[in-house]
Structure formats: structure tokens, C-alpha cells
Amino acid sequence: MAYDYEKYIRPGKLPHIWCPGCGHGIVMKGLIRAMGTLNLKKEETALVSGIGCASRLPGYIDCCTLHTAHGRAVPFATGIKMARPEMNVILVGGDGDGTAIGGNHFIHACRRNIDMTYIIMNNYIYGMTGGQFSPCTPTGDKASTTPYGNPDPGFDLAKLAIGAGATFVARGTAFHANQIDKLIVEAIQHKGFSVVEILDDCPTTYGRRNKYKSVIEMMNRLKEIAVPVKAAEKMTAEQLKGKVLTGVLYKEEIKPEYTAEYAKVIERAKAAK
């Protein structure tokens, strides 16, 4: 049976602004399915983004949506979550927004382990401004500002999140559409700061500069490089060269969640009064 996407789509707001072949729409559908699976109440769900192509996503979803400034989705969302810990707070955005201009906020949200879910669509590029390299662009790749090849090493976004203290980190790809909603469901259910990186494609500003002949080729690449965590356990280092792990990469439930910890601060303050 076809899934009813209408439930969480804002009436009258489609079509979206994304280019043909862009994976953001696939991610949005995955998010909608996840929201449906969890039956999230629209009035009790905040969807927060920064600036960039991916950050336009909240406009299409029917809930409390906040399109903030470049890089600032995380601290805006932190304010919402602190003021109303009972709300579901989900963030969406791109790799540039989240790890360059918003990188400091990102690692500190991981450190605090505040109960929010951050879906980062990593398409290795600043798409909206026309294809400049991001902190996730692979070394050597072409962008409008790396005409001779990118000299910068890139972030491994998931490792960054784990290192900074996030307690749930998963990775999927825009090719593996059926996995996306499952990862997001698990992330939202996790009590703590959860990060879901979705490897994505930008045919318009990244693909054409880096010798991808078609969207299909870009999608095939995502298919080829992705190795599920379980499968990787049986593979040699040689076999894993050039691959990326997908699935739930890290999960722990010992570290306390931030708003719960602050509730204890309130208890202590009231007792000391």
C-alpha cells in the first residue's frame, strides 16, 4: 500500500525548490514516513533548520517550523527544547550549514546530549550559493571555489559527532531510501542528541563539476560505497577501502540527557531556596 504522505505535507507549499535528481526530496519523504510511524503530533513537533537547500525542508512540513539563520539551527532548537522539553525537536540541514558556520553549535549540542534529532543531508557542497566546497567535500574534488581541486581534507561527520559526545549516530544514503525512515525513527526515539547523516547528491553543482555523467551515476556511487555496519565486520581493511559504513554507527544510553539533568538542577535549586 502506498504511504499517505499528505498527512505531514503542508497544503499548497509544493512543488519544492530542489533540482531534479537532488536527493533532498527522498530524505524528506523518509522523514515524513518516520513522523507517521511515530505518529508525531504536529503541534508538539518543532522542525528547525538553518540556511541552504536542505534547510528549506521545514517549509513543506506541517508542524511548528523554524527556518533560522545560517548555521544557527542548533542553538535556536536548543532554546526551544529548554523552554519546552516536552516538544519533539528535529533539525534538518546541509553539510556546510551544520559543520562549517554551525560547527561549533553542532559539537556542543553533541556534548550536552540534549534530546533532539539532527538530520544532516551531506551532499559535499554548498548548493544554494552555486557549488562552493564545504568541510565535507573530499580532497581533490572540484567546486566553484576549488577550480584546481580541493586542497582541504574533509570531516567525517559521523566520527565528529561521536567524538563530540552524541549518543546516537547513524548514516544512510539517499539511494537507500527505505532505510532512511527507519534510522530517523530510531534517532527520534533515542533519548539524547541523535545525528543522522544522509549521504546525498547534488547533480547541479557537485556532480557536473566532478565528472558524474548523470544522476543515476551519482546514485549508483552511493549504492556502491555504502556498506552496512554488520557486513563490514566480516570485511578486510582492503575490502573496506573507499567504502562508508551505513546503519547505526554508535549508540549509548548511559550518558545523561541534558534537559533531564537541568530538571535536576531545578530540583536542587528549589530545595536550596
Distance CA(129)–CA(185), nearest Å, equals: 31
Q: What mask, x for binding another protein by CB under 8 A, covers residues 56 to 85?
A: --xx--xxxxxxxx--x-xxxxxxx-xxx-
- Applying the rule CB under 8 A, the residues between 104 and 163 that interact with another protein are 104-105, 108
- Applying the rule CB under 8 A, the residues between 88 and 107 that interact with another protein are 104-105
Question: Is residue 265 within the footprint of another protein (CB under 8 A)?
Answer: yes
Piece in contact with another protein (CB under 8 A), picked from 141-149, 176-184, 236-244, 265-273: 265-273
The nearer residue to another protein, 74 or 184, going by C-beta atoms, is 74
Question: Is residue 11 within the footprint of another protein (CB under 8 A)?
Answer: no
Closest approach of Cβ 210 to another protein, in Å? Answer: 30
Q: Give buried/exposed letters for 126-165 (b at 16+ CB in 10 A, else e).
A: bbbeebbbbbbbeeebbbeebeeebebebbebbebbbebb
Contacts 24+ apart (CB under 8 A), 107-112: 107/160, 107/164, 108/74, 108/164, 109/74, 109/78, 109/166, 109/193, 110/161, 110/164, 110/165, 110/166, 110/193, 110/195, 111/164, 111/165, 112/78, 112/165, 112/193, 112/258
- Which grid cell is 7? 498527512
The nearer residue to another protein, 66 or 244, going by C-beta atoms, is 66
Q: Binders of another protein: how many residues, by CB under 8 A?
A: 41
Q: Which residues bind another protein (CB under 8 A)?
A: 10, 13, 42-44, 46, 48, 58-59, 62-69, 72, 74-80, 82-84, 86-87, 104-105, 108, 262, 265-266, 268-270, 272-273
